[in-house]
Amino acid sequence: MSIIELSDLCKTYKVYQKKEGLRQSVAGLFRREYRDVNAVRDVNLKVEEGEFVAFLGPNGAGKTTTLKLLSGVINPTSGEAKVMGFIPWKRDNEYRRQFALVMGQKNQLWWDLPAQESFRLHQHIYQIPASQFQKTQDELTELLDVKRLLNQPVRELSLGERMKMELIAALLHSPRVLFLDEPTIGLDVVAQHNIQQFLKFYQQERKITILLTSHYMQDIEALCERVVIIAAGTIQYDGSLSGILNRFSNNKRVTFQLAEGQSFEALDRFAPIEELQEPKVQFRVPRSDVPKLLSGMLDAKRVVDVTVEDPPLEEIIAELFTQVAQNQKDSSPEWLGGN
Ligand SMILES: Nc1ncnc2c1ncn2[C@@H]1O[C@H](COP(=O)(O)OP(=O)(O)OP(=O)(O)O)[C@@H](O)[C@H]1O
Ligand SMILES: [Mg+2]
């Protein structure tokens, strides 16, 4: 059995539809009209113990909803889920002691209290023995370098410091499964990097299972080998990070640096130019056209340097999301499949 298993999981929200105009509004007081939002539909997913999986998708894709279902915060409309053998929405105490949810957009610590107080509360709730609590707290505050801030009210902390405290609170009871919903949102690159490093270290050390959502590709590249892409409530891709490049990016970027005195005129006869900044010119061509471009340019010009690269992951993902949105409009199902 996998540590996380979702089968045909669905969550439909009923959203109250306000009608335009006074007459319609008044009518609405008596007979409310609802619209269904299929936030998660027929999601099937298996995660093995010790995996660090990225959960990607455009805004409104259903990522947070899925994590809420897995944490038992909300009930599904249909379908099943098991985490460590528990059905999350049964909210078994034994389950609660073995997982944690961290939401970057939501404060889970007491705002006016020092983090230390919130941590003690957690100790109490999770019945963590005093010696183990102290040891874990020491370790975590050390690793994240926030020991000196333990007694300061949380509202006085910076966003990055607060996020670190949120993580500590979530890890005090040593969960086996961790759900992270945009843990680096709004952080500067340094704080973002610190949190990445910490998560990487902690996950490797403890072999815990993590499901992470983030809009920062940097997080994903640093942490996750497996990527699940969700859009409009359904899974569109499940595979490796490099697989995304292979599968969705047919283009390569080829950059030439020309020797001094070479003419930059009419270079577009070789391939479409992406960027021209003398002495460099960059082309974007289908993978299969790279050899032809290389030999053509090398024959015609004195070249000092060449690089061939994939377009940045961010760009590929952005294209992918746009395609998904387009296909959603055309409503052709299963356009991508998975692997
Ligand atoms: N409590 C709610 N009531 C009604 N609709 C909701 C509720 N929560 C989410 N939705 C809708 O469900 C869909 C999925 O939302 P969800 O928050 O899961 O997206 P997400 O992938 O986390 O997006 P983001 O990247 O913006 O955080 C959206 O269309 C959203 O408007
Ligand atoms: Mg979300």
The string of pLDDT tens digits covering residues 160-196 is 999 999 999 999 999 999 999 999 999 999 999 999 9
Ligand 2 centroid – CA 327 distance (Å): 22
| Residue nearest atom 11 of ligand 1, based on CA coordinates | 39
Number of H helices, E strands in the chain: 11, 13
Mean pLDDT within 224-251: 88
The Cα–Cα gap between 75 and 252 comes to: 45
* 236 & 259 share domain: no
- What is the pLDDT confidence band of residue 152, given thresholds at 50, 70 and 90? very high
Range(s) of the domain holding residue 173: 4-8+43-245
Q: Are 299 and 311 in contact (CB under 8 A)?
A: no
Whether pLDDT at 119 is above 90: yes
What is the domain count for the chain?
2
Q: Dihedral sign for Cα 243, 244, 250, 254, please.
A: negative
* 152 & 292 share domain: no
* Residues contacting 35, CB < 8 A, separation 6+: 14, 15, 16, 17
pLDDT digits (tens, 9 = 90+) for 267-307: 999 999 999 999 999 999 998 999 999 999 999 999 999 99
Specify if 28 maps to a domain: no
Give me the pLDDT at residue 28, please: 67
- What is the pLDDT confidence band of residue 44, given thresholds at 50, 70 and 90? very high
* 158 & 260 share domain: no
Mean pLDDT within 34-47: 94
Q: Are 19 and 33 in contact (CB under 8 A)?
A: yes
Give me the pLDDT at residue 23, please: 74
Percent of the chain whose predicted confidence (pLDDT) is above 90: 76
Structure tokens at 67: 């994590």
Single residue among 203, 229, 245 that ends a domain in this structure: 245
Structure tokens at 93: 């105490």
Whether pLDDT at 249 is above 60: yes
Which of 38, 65, 103, 236 has most ligand 1 atoms within 8 Å of its beta carbon, as the pocket-test mutant? Answer: 65
Nearest ligand for residue 65 CA: 1
What's the DSSP call for residue 89? Answer: G
The Cα–Cα gap between 132 and 173 comes to: 9
* 241 & 277 share domain: no
* 228 & 258 share domain: no
* 122 & 229 share domain: yes
* 187 & 300 share domain: no
Ligand 2 centroid – CA 63 distance (Å): 5
